[in-house]
Amino acid sequence: MTRYTRGRGRRATAAGLLMTVTLLAGLLLTGHALPFSGARTATSATRGTTGARGMTALGPASPDRPLAITLMLRGRSSAELNRTLAGLSDPASPSYRHFLSPAEYARRFGPDPARRQRVEAALTAAGLRVTWRAPDGTLLRVQATIQQAEAFFGVRIEDFRGADGRRFYAATTAPTLPPALREIVTGVLGLESYSAAHPAALRSLPGATRQAGQTVGFAPDDLARAYDFAPLRSAGLDGAGQTIAFAEIDTFRRADIATYDREFNISAPAIDVVDVGAGAAPPDQVSETTLDIEVVHAVAPQAHLIAYEGGGDIASLAQIFRQIVSDHRAQVMSVSLGLCERFILDPSQAPSDLRDAFTVSGQGFFSSLDDTFRQAAAVGMSVLVATGDTGAYGCNQADPSNHEVVPSAPATSPFVTAVGGTALFPAADGAYGREYGWEGPLEGAGGGGGLSLQYALPSWQSGRGVANQFSDGRRQVPDVAADADPLTGYAIYDSTSGCRGQQCWGVVGGTSAAAPLWAGLIALANQAGAKQGLRSAGFLNPALYRLGNGAAGASGASPFHDITGGGNLFYPATPGWDYSTGWGSPDANALVPALLAAERGG
């Protein structure tokens, strides 16, 4: 493998290396689920009226315009599902790690088939066409015209132009349903098309020229030494036989992946792409999907990767997440998207152009996430989610004037593993040296973390540092962390910006990189477990917190680097668990055997 030489940290980066990119995982401003009553809606205004922040009302939407709408249906036996999930994670339970098949999940916990059929019959009678059904029956994707949607849901849909010039449509009244359907339909997604989901702006240092074989970004061998998965490589662990699925809202260029692989002598399986709905749009400046794939290739090059690509509106996202779980092709899901919890729960706190443009139904959105990630836990899928890149201020990316200390969803879900950010500095020989919680006060950047507004503290979330001066009985994130500071970032090849050749090499940071790194490590653990006849790791957090509390496995080594310096612009990194780095970053050679011991019930 070509050897890459680390530069001189921050100084080398600031001196003019190629480009430094921060992919902020903390922004996913999209459409939202619509409730059935009492909702704030997009304001119907006189045509041509411009709102306070530049949103312009353009008048009624064309009645013949097609739209894709997603209906969320209520599942069965919620209490039984909770008991099942608890048993799957409890080493003392006879059902420990006896994961369900998707078919069994649908039979036991999906919507009642007869009631679902009533919903479909009502849609068909109104001229709406069901185009996709989640295998477990919890989501229906429906094709309709504006006119049909307005009649069926009792709404007005109008066109708007945002301050950035993009046009979108939005319902101006809350939807209603026939009484017979209200007990099973829990949310309607897609009655608006506003989407501001995109990675942060590319930051390039002009005049930099990459020399062959040299970059300051972490190359695969650098990561292997620093995070100690080089011994796993030597033992034959490369991700073979494992599958990782990415939830993506932009596309990637296969030629970029090929260039990265060729540079580092990586031979990887072909990448599958699944278009969800109409698929994803090309990225504006840098491809999140490219980052995800290249980071995983650095860790688990033989893992089979599937990019599920769809739109940035919430209806498409709900379908992306659900389809990944329902397809059940992957053992691991990696997500690098999020939205400030406050805006979901209280749209009056959102920027005025967003607040006035569309209705926000926070509970509908959370309900969709909960259903999906609970099912992922039930069927044995690990879900890794980036916590965002504006430190403890999860709303700041969408609204720079907002400095509330609040985290981002879906990283706050109790059924996902939230991945925070660090700044990594290897020792002179490339081995692990020192690490800090990532925070950059001048740029207002850092790893996301804090106390959820939505979720209670799960029973498994306990241990040294978890109960602290900030604790209030709510879910605390992150759970773990990895390198995310762009000044100590990853070597990535991406030509989205229009660069050519060597100029397309860059140094990339963000928790958007930390999450797929952890996804790759879990693929290695799953591969090692499969060789020993074990099932996939599944829902990670109960085992991770047992390990954080001292269940280190046969080797006796800690699976985490406990990070006690730095922070995330508000919360400091402290001994044990903290809001900046969770339990810390991985020592992979200790983590993998410790996870396998935990999977055996140790």
Which is nearest to 170 in space by CA: 162, 181, 179?
162
Task: Check whether residue 210 and residue 125 sit in a common domain.
Answer: no
Choice between 10 and 471, residue whose per-residue pLDDT is larger: 471
User: Among positive and negative, which fits the CA dihedral 245, 246, 250, 255?
Assistant: negative
Q: Which pLDDT belongs to residue 539?
A: 97
Answer whether 496's CB lies under 8 Å from 285's CB.
yes
Q: Which pLDDT belongs to residue 347?
A: 75
- For residue 571, tell me if it sits in a domain: yes
Distance CA 25, CA 201 (A): 12
**pLDDT tens for each residue of 275-307:** 988 788 888 777 899 999 999 999 999 999 999
Q: Which pLDDT belongs to residue 447?
A: 96
User: Among positive and negative, which fits the CA dihedral 213, 217, 218, 219?
Assistant: negative
Task: Check whether residue 184 and residue 202 sit in a common domain.
Answer: no
| CA distances to 380, 417, 525, 601 from 90, in Å | 14, 17, 19, 8
pLDDT band at 11 (very low <50, low <70, confident <90, very high): very low
Q: Which pLDDT belongs to residue 602?
A: 60
Strand partners, 5: 214
Nearest-5° angle of CA 324, CA 325, CA 327?
70
Lowest mean pLDDT among 190-194, 444-448, 570-574: 190-194
Q: Can you give the CATH number for the domain in which 462 is found?
A: 3.40.50.200
Answer whether 170's CB lies under 8 Å from 3's CB.
no
Task: Check whether residue 162 and residue 248 sit in a common domain.
Answer: no
**pLDDT tens for each residue of 347-406:** 778 776 555 443 445 566 778 888 899 999 999 999 999 999 999 999 988 888 899 999
Highest mean pLDDT among 58-62, 312-316, 329-333: 329-333
Average pLDDT over residues 303-328: 89
Helix 511-531 / helix 588-599 crossing angle, nearest 10 deg = 50
Average pLDDT over residues 552-561: 74
SS3 of residue 566 by DSSP: strand
Task: Check whether residue 158 and residue 255 sit in a common domain.
Answer: no
Task: Check whether residue 409 and residue 450 sit in a common domain.
Answer: yes
* Full-model pTM: 0.89
Lowest mean pLDDT among 38-42, 84-88, 93-97: 38-42
Distance CA 407, CA 483 (A): 19
Q: Which pLDDT belongs to residue 469?
A: 97
Length of the chain: 602
pLDDT band at 568 (very low <50, low <70, confident <90, very high): very high
Torsion of CA 532, 535, 538, 540, to 10 degrees: -30
Task: Check whether residue 118 and residue 264 sit in a common domain.
Answer: no
Average pLDDT over residues 52-73: 84
Q: Which pLDDT belongs to residue 38?
A: 32
Q: Which pLDDT belongs to residue 343?
A: 84
Distance CA 505, CA 280 (A): 24
Choice between 411 and 339, residue whose per-residue pLDDT is larger: 411
- For residue 78, tell me if it sits in a domain: no
Share of the chain above pLDDT 70, in %: 84
**pLDDT tens for each residue of 202-223:** 333 333 334 555 557 999 999 9
- For residue 96, tell me if it sits in a domain: no
Place of tokens 């009553």: 37
Choice between 481 and 37, residue whose per-residue pLDDT is larger: 481
The pLDDT of residue 145 is above 90:
yes
Place of tokens 């890149």: 389
The pLDDT of residue 52 is above 60:
no
- For residue 282, tell me if it sits in a domain: yes
- For residue 84, tell me if it sits in a domain: no
Task: Check whether residue 165 and residue 217 sit in a common domain.
Answer: no
Lowest mean pLDDT among 300-304, 312-316, 318-322: 312-316
The pLDDT of residue 128 is above 60:
yes
pLDDT band at 30 (very low <50, low <70, confident <90, very high): very low
Number of structural domains in the chain: 2
**pLDDT tens for each residue of 487-521:** 999 999 999 988 999 999 999 999 999 999 999 99
Task: Give the range of the structural domain holding residue 45, as residue numbers without chain letter.
Answer: 35-71+112-132+144-190
Distance CA 339, CA 26 (A): 6
Q: Which pLDDT belongs to residue 317?
A: 81
Lowest mean pLDDT among 237-251, 306-320, 422-436, 528-542: 306-320
- For residue 450, tell me if it sits in a domain: yes
Interacting residues of 108 by C-beta distance below 8 A, sequence separation 6+: 76, 77, 80, 81, 84, 100
- For residue 13, tell me if it sits in a domain: no
Residue 92: burial class (beta carbons within 10 Å; 0-12, 13-18, 19+): exposed
Answer whether 571's CB lies under 8 Å from 392's CB.
yes
Q: Which pLDDT belongs to residue 250?
A: 92
Task: Check whether residue 174 and residue 210 sit in a common domain.
Answer: no
Torsion of CA 345, 348, 354, 357, to 10 degrees: 100
Q: Which pLDDT belongs to residue 187?
A: 82
Distance CA 27, CA 336 (A): 9
Q: Which pLDDT belongs to residue 381?
A: 98
Q: Which pLDDT belongs to residue 399?
A: 85
Interacting residues of 564 by C-beta distance below 8 A, sequence separation 6+: 573, 574, 575
Distance CA 591, CA 577 (A): 16
Average pLDDT, the chain: 84
Q: Which pLDDT belongs to residue 136?
A: 85
Task: Check whether residue 481 and residue 567 sit in a common domain.
Answer: yes
Distance CA 579, CA 560 (A): 15
- For residue 593, tell me if it sits in a domain: yes
- HSE, CB side, 13 Å, CA atoms: give it for residue 435: 30
DSSP per residue, 395-414? TTTT-TT----B-EETTT-T
Written as six digits, the tokens of 120 are 């479909």
Choice between 19 and 131, residue whose per-residue pLDDT is larger: 131
Task: Check whether residue 159 and residue 281 sit in a common domain.
Answer: no
Task: Check whether residue 182 and residue 206 sit in a common domain.
Answer: no
Distance CA 104, CA 100 (A): 6
Choice between 577 and 140, residue whose per-residue pLDDT is larger: 577
DSSP 90: -
Written as six digits, the tokens of 585 are 């970053």
Residue 318: burial class (beta carbons within 10 Å; 0-12, 13-18, 19+): buried
Which is nearest to 427 in space by CA: 558, 561, 522?
561
Nearest-5° angle of CA 546, CA 548, CA 553?
65
Residue 206: burial class (beta carbons within 10 Å; 0-12, 13-18, 19+): exposed
Task: Check whether residue 341 and residue 485 sit in a common domain.
Answer: yes
